[in-house]
Each structure stands twice: as structure tokens, then as C-alpha cells.
Amino acid sequence: MATTTMDERFTLNEKELDQIIATPRTKIPEVNIFNDIKLPKKERIAHAANILKNRKCKS
């Protein structure tokens, strides 16, 4: 799983905050694709290590 960090800071005014708060919630359906977000940190690290190990070029 790839992640990226944004270092930019954004300032919201009160109107923008009200729009965010007023936005209706959307339920995202569960899919049958593996997702490591809900795994404990130790298992996520082990899973990532396994992915990296499998990607190494075999000569």
C-alpha cells in the first residue's frame, strides 16, 4: 500500500466549515479486496515486509 503525505497547510473559513459539516455521510460498501488498514500495526508491518520481499528481483 502506497501512502503520501501533504505538507501544505490549508485554512478554512466558517462558510467552508459549515459546508463540510452539512455534507451528508456516505456509507462506503465493503468489498472483497484485502485492506490492511484494519490490521494491528505489527501485522501491517509484517504484511508490508512480505510485499517488499516478494517484489525483489530474483537473479
pLDDT of residue 24: 93
> What pTM was estimated for this model as a whole?
0.41
Identify which of 39, 19, 27, 59 has the alpha carbon closest to the alpha carbon of residue 50. Answer: 39
pLDDT of residue 32: 82
pLDDT of residue 27: 85
Q: What is the DSSP letter of 56?
A: S
Q: Grid coordinates representing 58? A: 530474483
- The answer to whether 1 and 36 have CB atoms below 8 angstroms apart is yes
pLDDT in tens, 3-51: 666 677 888 899 999 999 999 988 878 788 888 888 899 999 999 898 8
pLDDT of residue 2: 59
pLDDT of residue 42: 94
